[in-house]
A and B are shown apart, each in its own frame.
Chain A
Amino acid sequence: MRSHAKRLPSRPVILLLQVAVLVGFFLLWHVLTVTTNLLSPFFFGTPLAVLERTIKDFASGVIWYHLGITLLETALAFVIGTVSGIAFGFWFARAPLVSVVFDPYIKAVNALPRVVLAPIFALWLGLGIWSKVALGVTLVFFIVFFNVYQGVKEVSPVVLANARMLGANSRHLFRHVYLPSALSWVFSSLHTAVGFAMVGAVVGEYLGSSAGLGYRIHQAEGVFDTVGVFSGMLVLTIFVVAIDSAVTMAEKRLLHWRPQEAQTTH
């Protein structure tokens, strides 16, 4: 491994290059579909039509309702999955018998592709938001569960002994030692957890619903509206990027005690 990485250009230059890639991609798309007609606009859409449709949807306001539904499902799946993951993670980590007995079943359920549960949830919970929330929860739960389990198990025995010597009872140990340790693991998997919550929501909507971004993409697909599908994907992408940067901000605030790599300034 080389010790000195090649020097990178400054931030504005990198940003410029990144924008250039985006513009280049749209240009290529435009050339292939409109100018040369190598690809049929019917199957591939055109970038201008997709942008126009997206702006129109936002301007007319129809998209907000669907965005709101997807966001609500994502948030509910994330919160319910995280809280139950933390609770069960703690329980399993502190009760060795439970964890040993349930271990093969947990692994089996986690190995199951969760998408196959979507029809069952739709049957049980109907086509409203709760079947999507349930799907998201099954995805989020296991990520959080395994991280909390690990976090509780990996608490430094010295830190634990020190806290006990300082007079901590079991409630104190939970609040001051186990919980912060476990939460640091949960937060480090926050991106994955939020991402999976959204996957659950969108896939659930796609498979059967009456609202949401997944529903809109499915509707457009059903009538061969390629532009509508791409427009839906574009909105979804913007939505994902926005949520992910919100998570990054939350992470920075919550994990400020963590050492950063090669920290020289604050």
Chain B
Amino acid sequence: MAEAAATAPALCLEGVTCIFPSPDGRGRTYTAVQNASFTVADGEFVSIVGPTGSGKSTLLNVAAGLLRPSEGRALSFGQPVTGINPLAGYMFQAEALMPWKSALENVAVGLEFRGVSKREALDRAGPWLTRVGLDGFGDRFPHQLSGGMRKRVALAQTLIVDPKIVLMDEPFSALDIQTRQMMENELLDLWAADRKSVVFITHDLEEAIAMSDRVLVLSAGPGSRLIGEYKITLDRPRDVAEIRMTPQFLALHKEIWGQLRDEVLKGYAQTKLR
């Protein structure tokens, strides 16, 4: 297995289709994702962009093992994902911190779940808070922190258990643009330190290009498919704010946007219909 893990991709989705019962009932169904296949190599940073309602989160939930696909399967480092994917960390779009635990306890809790004693877990959580720039905020409760700080806690909480692949579902979409760019740079720094595989979901094409090695484009739902794949060959390390001005970035942006625009318009028409 160790050998397989060394060569197998961090994540491999094979013909994943997800069909949900329609919210209006009567036995009708809604196909969120149709026959999606892609792989993420070990250490690769892959972004998935698509218009709203294109099933981006659905794909991530399949990879995490939170959702069983109707058809197809997910493999993580060669192992079929059945149940929670133990090699994956997940950073949610919505607030996922436990409101009854302090920042430090929230960071430590993943270690506690893995059998580390509470005291040792708290000791190890301290440096992680420092690493995400929250030294001295350990005893604050989530409601006492700003939105950006809560995201930092969530980032430390996800990374402290050392996942082999990190799944991020529009983690910074709720933040203002300055905080967001700072968080993006910090994420890239942390990522550069030990090169975990990352699957990054976003609806923001600029964010996707600035951060990733590869960008996948999803079509508008229902029945979203992967319709485009772009290698991002920009040099690292990158500064997400500055790289947006470079001609290479603009060329990539223009190329991908050409495809994405149609889908966004389709997605917009869909939401208007609903």
Contact = CB atoms under 8 A, between A and B. Distances in A.
B114 A161 contact: no
A190 to B, nearest CB: 16
A106 B150 CA distance: 41
Interface in A53-97: none
A198 to B, nearest CB: 29
Interface in B149-175: 157-158, 161
A31 B143 CA distance: 54
A257 B101 contact: yes
B66 A184 contact: no
Does more than half of chain A's interface fall in helix, strand or loop, or is it mixed? Answer: helix
A41 interface: no
Contacts, number: 72
A166 B161 contact: yes
Contacts of B66: 161, 164-165
A84 B92 CA distance: 35
Contacts of B89: 165-166
B90 interface: yes
B198 interface: no
A216 to B, nearest CB: 43
Counting chain B CB atoms within 10 Å of each CB, which of A166, A167, A172, A177 scores highest?
Answer: A166
B113 A172 contact: yes
A158 B161 contact: no
A166 B110 contact: yes
Contacts of B84: 164-165, 167
Contacts of B133: none
Contacts of B113: 163, 166-169, 172, 176
B269 interface: no
Interface in A220-266: 256-259, 263
Q: How large is the interface on A (under 10, 10 to 19, 20 to 34, 35 or more residues)?
A: 20 to 34
Contacts of A172: 112-113
A259 B143 contact: yes
Contacts of B158: 166
Counting chain A CB atoms within 10 Å of each CB, which of B64, B90, B100, B112 scores highest?
Answer: B100
A141 B109 CA distance: 32
Contacts of B99: 159, 257-258
Contacts of B101: 176, 180, 257
Contacts of B250: none
Given A176-B98, A180-B100, A259-B143, A165 B109 contact: no
Interface of B: 64, 66, 84, 86, 88-90, 92, 94-102, 109-110, 112-114, 141, 143-144, 157-158, 161
Given A163-B98, A168-B113, A176-B101, 5 more contacts: A162-B90, A165-B89, A181-B100, A257-B99, A257-B143
